[in-house]
């Protein structure tokens, strides 16, 4: 399966939420129980500096992923405090799902833009 292409826009000082639905070839939702979800943003693919790091194994303050269950839906969210802390404007990102047995699937990738806030 090739990762879907989708660009994300995050507004600073505002709540950010996205849902990703993962279905099999027949359209049935993938059971995500026990999966680990990771999403990182970097300036470029080859950059060593991580600008944003989501990981169900160790979520930072104001970050949520889940719940992960039989619906095949991955919900990610950043609180207004977390979006306010983002100091980059443009980056590349991808999101991977790691099965309990270790099989890894890259589900989505694209560009990520952070829009600065006027009202704080």
pLDDT over threshold 90, residue 29: yes
Give pLDDT tens digits for 54-101: 999 999 999 999 899 999 999 999 999 999 999 999 999 999 999 999
Confidence tier at 3 by pLDDT (50, 70, 90): very high
Cα–Cα distance for residue pair 43/13, rounded to 1 Å = 21
15 found inside a domain: yes
> How many domains in the chain?
1
Cα–Cα distance for residue pair 35/119, rounded to 1 Å = 38
Name residues whose C-beta falls within 8 Å of residue 40's C-beta, 6 or more positions apart in sequence.
Answer: 50, 51, 52, 53, 54, 93, 94
Long-range contacts of 99-102 (CB under 8 A, 24+ apart): 99/34, 99/35, 100/34, 100/35
105 found inside a domain: yes
26 found inside a domain: yes
Cα–Cα distance for residue pair 83/102, rounded to 1 Å = 31
120 found inside a domain: no
Full residue range of the structural domain in which residue 24 is found: 4-115
pTM: 0.91
């Amino acid at each position: 399966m090739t990762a879907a292409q989708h660009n994300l826009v995050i507004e600073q000082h505002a709540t950010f939420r996205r849902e990703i639905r993962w279905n099999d070839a027949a359209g049935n939702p993938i059971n995500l129980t026990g999966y680990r979800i990771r999403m990182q943003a970097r300036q470029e693919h080859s950059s060593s500096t991580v600008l944003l790091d989501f990981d169900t194994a160790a979520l930072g303050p104001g970050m949520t992923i889940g719940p992960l269950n039989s619906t095949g839906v991955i919900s990610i969210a950043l609180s207004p405090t977390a979006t306010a802390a983002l100091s980059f404007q443009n980056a590349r990102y991808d999101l991977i799902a790691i099965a309990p047995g270790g099989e890894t699937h890259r589900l989505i990738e694209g560009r990520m833009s952070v829009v600065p806030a006027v009202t704080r």
